[in-house]
Amino acid sequence: MSARFAVGIDLGTTNCALAVAPIDPANGAEGADRTDARPRVFAIPQLVASGQVEARPLLPSFLYFAHESDGPQALPWNAERRFAVGEHARSRGVDAPSRVVSSAKSWLSHPTIDRRAGILPLSAPEDVEKISPVEVSWRYLEHLSEAFDAAYGGGDNALAQQDVVITVPASFDASARELTVEAALAAGIENLTLLEEPQAALYAWTEALGDAWRRQVRPGDVVLVVDVGGGTTDFSAIAAVEKDGALDLVRVAVGDHILLGGDNMDLALSHVVRQKLEADGKSIDRFQQASLVHASRVAKERLFEDPHLASAPIAVASRGAALLGGMLRAELTQEDLARILVDGFFPNVPADARPVAARRGALTQLGLPYASDPAVTRHLASFLGRQANALATLGLAPETPGRLLHPTALLFNGGVTKAAGLRARLVATLDGWLASDGAPPVRVLAGGDADFAVARGACVYGLVRRGKGIRIRGGTARAYYVGIESAVPAVPGIAPPVTAMCVAPFGMEEGTEAHLPAHEVGVVVGEPATFRFFGSTVRREDAAGAVLEDWGPGELEELAPVEVTLPAEGRREGDVVPVHLRSRVTEVGTLLLEAEPRTPLHADEHWRVELSVRGGASA
Amino acid sequence: MPAFFMSGSRAGRHPANLRAAVNPSPLPFGTRIWFAWACFFRALFDGQFAARVWAVREAPALPPAASAPAEVAPSPTAHDHPRTAPVSSDPTPALQLLALLQREGRFVDFLQQDIASFPDAEIGIAARVVHEGCRKALRSHAELVPVRTEAEGARLTVPAGFRADEIKLVGDVKGHAPYSGVLRHRGWRAKTLHLPQIVGEHDSYVLAPAEVELG
């Protein structure tokens, strides 16, 4: 059975979206739009209030565990469901926050928790059986899958039968990618590929422009994708090179995982408005605080839309049925906007500015490693500075390397970048850095679609994989290393020194394999062997098997440990078996590590090394 | 307010002979005003009715014999067929709309509160909340367009055969078409309306549940 549709799923931190296109429009399936082969955003049926189902283009990434008093959270395809996903779940997050899971995707990429353990919602009451970050993603995908099947009739049109592309942040490490695949498999989506969100945004942009995009991106260009969504900020650099006379796109660098987005900004605005209200002697309850965040967002959008508007009113109603009498009123001014959002989140900093590393700022919430520095521009400066040499391997680097990577074009993505004021500040700041480095300013690539580009682009990628259009190459966004503790006498209080062996080089392409020469590790039969695991977004030269005795500050980032257990079959428990490690990047886009005994008992004997095993600390 | 949604119950007062008219003569003006009003809400809330009217609009030349005479009116000017039988109008969509406007914009709270004693400034603040929420709800569920696109105040000619549910003649109403006059109100038409689907055992008469905070 071959797929009828290419389906792109944006599995977002705050919203999910799904786009679909017929693979062969001339031979479209029933229910398909025969005339239009372009990706269409699918309206996702979801509970929007108790007992009310509505199809909306965005599925808020919230999960609500119904209380016994709520009754079933019925859907047209399942009358007995005990939980709700989507808009109703989001609004229950205001009324009954302890029963609602939000930002599950940030938990999925949390390196120091067990992401397969039931931990969410964090402060759930006793009657709620907590579920794992993986299961939350599974539930979102399951909802999308069921909604798709309800609309398209299932059978050969079922989502499980289609070519599905699910997007992940470029900054997701190997284990977060694998856990995303795990969630998809649990939801019955097997015909699956992962795609990095900034790449998806670029695919969507090329699709929206048709062939015209080739006039805007030429060989030698470096496109910087700045993706500021609701919960995360993601940077990628994609270079255009000429290969055999044709244009080739190569993703050359990705940024770190930054938990910073529009939600932080709306929260910051609401705090300012709250202070104004409290200065007037008003007090605000939890319900009003949620309304305040919403009202601040609306006022913000209005002010950004019309820069001549001096201020926008904010009104928040009290909870009871009497609307008048308990209303709170404040103003949000352009000045507030400029001070809090433009200067607060997009300060005009020099190119050598770096994020403040202090932990636990004002914007943190228990458990999640939110960015402690709210300045997107400082994170961007750090990314470009770290990636100054990203083009060297492509032969594109300038003769005198600058202090930072020089993008020539800029593509915005994510809801925050809809605000012209914020875009302008970011461009001005970036142009300043480029000028100080003797490089020309960037061209902004217009025509993006901030809300749905990622889902559309994922769908486009599904078609591209079938040969319909140009494909962005790039391979793994990191090099991966296994930590090997040196055999030295133990010294109390001092951790034994660790060397890092590269198990997967930077830019390893899908479908390729790397054998590690020489180095062996010994594994005890029948006992799990755990290795420290590291990733690097900057070390491009390390080949598989390379051993690092030491490395520069920030070059290697420690990830969740990996683990392998050798079954006792055919061997004596307790024996130490020397193994080689080998790595493979699957067609899906995940990293597979395997341990191969030096003296196999039978041909091709090997064991899988599990990524993202339980971390040291719990949440 | 509830009277807006009671077009169904008024059906009994509607002259029964109208629905049998195969070769109709123009309706009296007063009847047309009432009828335009009733049609607006019925078309808004009764998808099947809207579809039938739409079919009439799309196929004005269809001979009456081509389908049930009561279902297809012979001319576009005669919107006189809807009541083929006493209709018990389902109030659910109307209740849903009220619930929606309450949920998104506190609409019912606003209308149910006695605002006489409050100063205009406070009413203005409340109006912002209600306006912002209800507008968003309305826009995401209905597409409303003006009936006439000309600027209000513009002179226009109303040709013979105009549809009485689209254009209401006011002022010194007399004579015969074509009429010349000034557009005083552009009118509104709901091009589309999508209301949520009801699932499970949901009581639509509850516009907003009582909220009891625990803990």
Contacts of A329 in chain B (CB under 8 A): 125
pLDDT at residue B36 is higher than 70: no
Q: What percent of chain B has pLDDT over 70?
A: 59
pLDDT at residue B152 is higher than 60: yes
Q: How confident is residue B136, by pLDDT bands cut at 50, 70 and 90? A: very high
The pLDDT value recorded for residue B40 is: 59
B contact residues 160-199, partner A, Cβ 8 Å cutoff? 194, 196-199
Mean pLDDT value across residues B149-172: 91
pLDDT at residue A225 is higher than 90: yes
The pLDDT value recorded for residue A499 is: 86
Mean pLDDT value across residues A38-62: 94
> In this structure, are residues B153 and B182 in contact, taking their beta carbons and an 8 Å threshold?
yes
Using a CB–CB cutoff of 8 Å, tell me whether A126 touches chain B: no
The pLDDT value recorded for residue A612 is: 66
Q: How confident is residue A423, by pLDDT bands cut at 50, 70 and 90? A: very high
Burial of A523 (0-12, 13-18, 19+ CB in 10 A): buried
Give residue B127's Cα distance to chain centre: 24
Give the torsion sign (CA, B169, B172, B177, B182): negative
pLDDT at residue A42 is higher than 90: yes
* Highest mean pLDDT (candidates A29-33, A123-127, B30-34): A123-127
Q: How confident is residue A360, by pLDDT bands cut at 50, 70 and 90? A: very low
The pLDDT value recorded for residue B8 is: 34
pTM of the model: 0.82
Q: Which residues pair with A15 in a beta bridge?
A: A60
Q: Which of A187-191, A447-451, A512-516, B76-80 has the lowest mean pLDDT?
A: B76-80
For chain A, the average pLDDT equals: 87
Q: Which residues pair with A40 in a beta bridge?
A: A20
Residue A20 Cα distances to A35, A58, A123, angstroms: 14, 14, 37
pLDDT at residue A366 is higher than 50: no
For A105-118, the pLDDT digits (tens) are: 988 888 778 888 89
> In this structure, are residues A332 and A300 in contact, taking their beta carbons and an 8 Å threshold?
yes
The pLDDT value recorded for residue B86 is: 54
Q: How confident is residue A177, by pLDDT bands cut at 50, 70 and 90? A: very high
The pLDDT value recorded for residue A319 is: 81
Q: How confident is residue B6, by pLDDT bands cut at 50, 70 and 90? A: very low
Contact B129 A95 (CB under 8 A): no
Q: Higher-confidence residue: A567 or A185? A: A185
Length of chain A: 619
Length of chain B: 215
Contact B200 A317 (CB under 8 A): no
Q: Which residue of A has its CA nearest to B199?
A: A51
Q: Give the type of residue at B50.
A: A
Q: Do domains A5-195 and A262-345 have the same CATH topology?
A: no
Give the torsion sign (CA, A318, A323, A326, A329): positive
Contacts of A316 in chain B (CB under 8 A): 129
The pLDDT value recorded for residue A575 is: 84
* Highest mean pLDDT (candidates A190-199, A253-262, A500-509): A190-199
Which residues, other chains included, contact A465 with Cβ-Cβ below 8 Å and sequence gap of 6+?
A163, A165, A193, A471
Query: What CATH code would you report for A5-195?
Result: 3.30.420.40
Contacts of B130 in chain A (CB under 8 A): 323
Instruction: List the single best residue of B197, B211, B213 to mutate versus A (max A Cβ within 10 A).
Output: B197
pLDDT at residue A40 is higher than 90: yes
Q: What is the nearest CA distance from B43 to chain A, expressed in angstroms?
A: 21
Q: Which of B112, B128, B196 sits opposite A313 (nearest CB)?
A: B128
Q: Higher-confidence residue: A312 or B56? A: A312
A contact residues 400-429, partner B, Cβ 8 Å cutoff? none
Here the contacts of A367-373 (C-beta below 8 Å, separation 24 or greater) are A367/A107, A367/A110, A367/A113, A367/A122, A367/A619, A368/A103, A368/A106, A368/A107, A368/A110, A368/A259, A369/A110, A369/A259, A370/A259, A370/A260, A370/A264, A371/A233, A371/A258, A371/A259, A371/A260
Q: Higher-confidence residue: A45 or B12? A: A45
What is the C-alpha separation between A484 and A523, in angstroms, rounded? 12
Write out the two tokens for A611.
């990524």
The pLDDT value recorded for residue A528 is: 84
Q: What is the nearest CA distance from B139 to chain A, expressed in angstroms?
A: 13
For B84-130, the pLDDT digits (tens) are: 455 668 899 999 999 999 999 999 999 999 999 999 988 988 898 89
pLDDT at residue A13 is higher than 70: yes
Q: How confident is residue B62, by pLDDT bands cut at 50, 70 and 90? A: very low
Q: How confident is residue B183, by pLDDT bands cut at 50, 70 and 90? A: very high
Mean pLDDT value across residues A65-69: 91
What is the C-alpha separation between B40 and B164, in angstroms, rounded? 11
The pLDDT value recorded for residue B72 is: 30
Q: How confident is residue A362, by pLDDT bands cut at 50, 70 and 90? A: very low
Q: How confident is residue A243, by pLDDT bands cut at 50, 70 and 90? A: confident
The pLDDT value recorded for residue A397 is: 61
pLDDT at residue A474 is higher than 70: yes
Angle, helices B29-45/B47-58, rounded to nearest 10 degrees: 120
The pLDDT value recorded for residue B87 is: 60
Q: Which residue of A has its CA nearest to B92?
A: A52
Mean pLDDT value across residues B57-73: 34
Burial of A460 (0-12, 13-18, 19+ CB in 10 A): buried
Q: Are strands B188-193 and A528-536 parallel, antiparallel or unpaired?
A: unpaired
Q: Are strands A513-515 and A576-585 parallel, antiparallel or unpaired?
A: antiparallel
Contact B129 A319 (CB under 8 A): no
Q: Which of A267-271, B33-37, B161-165 has the lowest mean pLDDT?
A: B33-37
Q: Higher-confidence residue: B186 or A552? A: B186
The candidate with the shortest Cα–Cα distance to A118, out of A128, A127, A130, is A130
What is the C-alpha separation between A87 and A64, in angstroms, rounded? 10
What is the domain partition of chain A in residue ranges? 5-195, 198-259+350-473, 262-345, 479-609
Name the region of A22 (left: φ>0; alpha: ψ -120 to 50; beta: rest). Answer: beta
- What top-level class would CATH report for the domain A198-259+350-473? alpha beta
For A562-584, the pLDDT digits (tens) are: 888 888 777 888 888 888 888 88
Contact A52 B198 (CB under 8 A): yes
Mean pLDDT value across residues A264-273: 90
Contact B125 A319 (CB under 8 A): no
Beta strands in A169-244 (DSSP E): 192-196, 222-228, 233-243
For chain B, the average pLDDT equals: 72
The pLDDT value recorded for residue A441 is: 95
> In this structure, are residues A51 and A72 in contact, taking their beta carbons and an 8 Å threshold?
no
How does DSSP classify residue A97?
G
**Residue whose entry in the numeric block shows the structure tokens 């636990």:** A360
Contact A315 B129 (CB under 8 A): yes
The pLDDT value recorded for residue B12 is: 35
pLDDT at residue B17 is higher than 80: no
The pLDDT value recorded for residue A603 is: 79
Among 3.90.640.10, 3.40.640.10, 3.40.50.2000, 3.40.50.1970, name the CATH number for the domain at A262-345.
Answer: 3.90.640.10
Q: What percent of chain A has pLDDT over 70?
A: 92
Q: How confident is residue B58, by pLDDT bands cut at 50, 70 and 90? A: very low
Q: How confident is residue B158, by pLDDT bands cut at 50, 70 and 90? A: very high
For A272-307, the pLDDT digits (tens) are: 999 999 998 888 887 788 888 888 988 998 899 888
The pLDDT value recorded for residue A248 is: 87
Q: How confident is residue B46, by pLDDT bands cut at 50, 70 and 90? A: low
Contact B122 A325 (CB under 8 A): yes
Contacts of B113 in chain A (CB under 8 A): 321-324
Q: How confident is residue B45, by pLDDT bands cut at 50, 70 and 90? A: low
Q: Which of A171-185, A397-411, B40-54 has the lowest mean pLDDT?
A: B40-54
Write out the two tokens for B128.
């912002």
Mean pLDDT value across residues A34-63: 89
Three-class SS of chain B: CHHHHCCCHHHHHCCHHHHHCCCCCCCCHHHHHHHHHHHHHHHHHCHHHHHHHHHHHHCCCCCHHHCCCCCCCCCCCCCCCCCCCCCCCCCHHHHHHHHHHHHHHCHHHHHHCCCCCCCHHHHHHHHHHHHHHHHHHHHHHEEEEECCCCCCCCEEEECCCCCCCCCCCCCCCCCCCCEEEECCCCCEEEEEECCCEECCCCCCCCCCCCCCCCC
Contact B125 A327 (CB under 8 A): yes
The pLDDT value recorded for residue A618 is: 36
The pLDDT value recorded for residue A37 is: 79
The pLDDT value recorded for residue A450 is: 80
The pLDDT value recorded for residue A577 is: 85
Q: Which of B113, B128, B196 sits opposite A315 (nearest CB)?
A: B128
What is the C-alpha separation between A414 and B60, in angstroms, rounded? 49
The pLDDT value recorded for residue A129 is: 92
